[in-house]
Amino acid sequence: MGPILVCCFWPGISLEGLATAASEIPRTRSANLADTLQEIQKNNKYLRKELKKAPWPSLKHFSARGRTYSLPLRAESREPSKRPAKARLEYLAGFFDRDGCVSYKTDLSGCTLLVSQSCDHAEVLMLFREAFGGSITRNRGGMGLVKPRLQWRAFGPSARRAAELLAPHSITKQPQLLLAERWPETESEREDCKAKLRALKDYDSAVAGPCSWEYFAGFFDANGCIHQPKGGASLQLKVEHKHPRVLRSLRDFLKTSGIDATLGKSQKRNVQRLWVTDLSNCKQILQQLSDAGLFCKAKQAQLALSLTPDTAAEVSAALAGFTTNKMFGKRLDAAGQERTRNIAAAQKQAASLRSQRRLDTEAEAKLREVQSHVARLKLEHELFKAREENQQLAYRYEGLRLSDTVQMLHHLQMKSGRAPGICL
């Protein structure tokens, strides 16, 4: 006999009330086999719209290094004698340069240092807390495809000490960290420092500081991207920043190891981008970063280092598990990549036929046949992509909808003052 669902209801809570609450949740638009491409795409657009309004459950705990911590994790101070190792400070400076923030308190009594990360990257926040003290709290709740975020925050003496230790290894935020470390006591000087700090955020205030593999590892952990184009035996590594000076420092540093990197402006976003495409250079960089303490992206790096023509499909499938929110439901699996290769081969055949100066009747018929084949392959490919996207979106939406329903029932049971009314 399988599990039995027992529902108990309390005074003031009717079946009609629960039915009304449940009816307010939009139905999941899962694709049917008979649906056309346009219908599935319409459903996917609807699901993405609804997901933007679907909250995640409130985060009460987080996990790091095999342990579970309750939120908020209260602030701790660190003894001045407990100075982190130079390599760890360089890593944390690189990470802070990309994802950290220096801000002043509203009463101008001092500065606050903050790093926020997705809830599944809490380990790096623990590194900051272990090095400098401070607290870990909720940053913002999750919504749809966007996971909840946590933040490490330090203020007062902890912020001053963190700024003092990070500044010598920082490139983009060194002037801001020095301000935080030397925040003045007098009110007039604090107003001046407030204006200076705000100004530093408006232009490229990076300094020409020394770089290291540890610094690069921190910067790459915060912002780096490991891309395997078309799931083949090639790699692309990329980091971005709104200002170019730090990327120039990284490019010059790579050049000392004989690695050429390209620096340019992103065509789609108003940011600067540094990238490397040569497979051997990419692997050399990833190996150096791994040896230097790459943390958040260590698993992706090891997968990329194992890339060969024979392992390309396996590596691509594994890297798909680290898909970002922007690519959710859009990354091609092995079958999708094979379809794109078939389409490319058919298009090449059609181009070859069209390149002939004169086509006889047989060649023209062959060209029409190939063009029809290309059109059919493209339609099938788009249909498979849309179905796969729909499946992933519907799965995520159902999960959030279920958690929302559980929270609703929990709220009702707490309001009634009774014990839980659902058990298995």
Task: Read off the CATH number of the domain in which 304 is found.
Answer: 3.10.28.10
* 347 lies in the same domain as 322: no
Q: Which of 202, 226, 259 is the last residue of a domain?
A: 202
pLDDT number for residue 5:
41
* 238 lies in the same domain as 343: no
* 196 lies in the same domain as 161: yes
**Do 250 and 125 touch, CB atoms closer than 8 A?**
no
Give a yes or no: residue 26 inside a domain: no
- What is the residue type of 394? A
Report the C-alpha gap between 115 and 101 in whole angstroms: 6
Q: How far is CA 25 from the centre of its chain?
A: 28
Q: What phi and psi, each to the nearest 5 degrees, are found at residue 194?
A: -60, -45
Question: What does the pLDDT look like over 289-324, one tens digit per residue?
Answer: 999 999 999 999 999 999 999 999 899 989 888 876
**Do 338 and 386 touch, CB atoms closer than 8 A?**
no
pLDDT number for residue 412:
47
Structurally, how many domains does the chain consist of?
3
Is residue 19 predicted with pLDDT exceeding 70? no
* 256 lies in the same domain as 192: no
Sign, Cα dihedral of 253, 264, 241, 323:
negative
* 183 lies in the same domain as 237: no
Q: 154 lies in which domain range?
A: 61-202
Q: How confident is the model at residue 410 (pLDDT cuts 50, 70, 90)?
A: low
pLDDT number for residue 284:
98
Is residue 221 predicted with pLDDT exceeding 90? yes
Give, in degrees to the nearest 5, the angle at Cα 175 between 94 and 267: 60
Give a yes or no: residue 405 inside a domain: no
Give a yes or no: residue 381 inside a domain: yes
* 113 lies in the same domain as 169: yes
Q: How confident is the model at residue 82 (pLDDT cuts 50, 70, 90)?
A: confident
* 191 lies in the same domain as 219: no
Q: What is the mean pLDDT of residues 381-408?
A: 81
Q: Report CA-CA distances (Å) from 259 to 17, 264, 275, 280.
A: 65, 16, 11, 10
From the list 63, 173, 56, 175, the residue with the least C-alpha distance to 115 is 173
Q: How confident is the model at residue 13 (pLDDT cuts 50, 70, 90)?
A: very low
Mean pLDDT of the residues in the chain: 87
Report the C-alpha gap between 166 and 148 in whole angstroms: 27
Q: What is the mean pLDDT of residues 181-191?
A: 94
Report the C-alpha gap between 261 and 182 in whole angstroms: 37
* Residue listed under structure tokens 């958040």: 296
Give a yes or no: residue 118 inside a domain: yes
pLDDT number for residue 33:
84
Residues 6+ away with beta carbon under 8 Å from 58: 141
Residues 6+ away with beta carbon under 8 Å from 7: 421, 422
* 171 lies in the same domain as 219: no
Give a yes or no: residue 397 inside a domain: no
* 181 lies in the same domain as 76: yes
Give a yes or no: residue 399 inside a domain: no
Give a yes or no: residue 22 inside a domain: no
* 255 lies in the same domain as 165: no
Is residue 159 predicted with pLDDT exceeding 60? yes
pTM, full prediction: 0.80
* 84 lies in the same domain as 137: yes
Q: Which of 162, 183, 202 is the last residue of a domain?
A: 202
Is residue 259 predicted with pLDDT exceeding 90? yes
Question: What does the pLDDT look like over 96-141, one tens digit per residue?
Answer: 999 999 999 999 999 999 999 999 899 999 999 999 999 999 999 9
Element (H, E) at 273: strand 272-276
Give a yes or no: residue 396 inside a domain: no
- What is the residue type of 413? Q
Name which of 145-159, 205-219, 341-355 the model is least confident about: 341-355
Report the C-alpha gap between 370 and 105 in whole angstroms: 67
Is residue 229 predicted with pLDDT exceeding 60? yes
* 86 lies in the same domain as 144: yes
**Do 104 and 46 touch, CB atoms closer than 8 A?**
no
Q: What is the mean pLDDT of residues 53-82?
A: 88
Q: What phi and psi, each to the nearest 5 degrees, are found at residue 358?
A: -130, 130
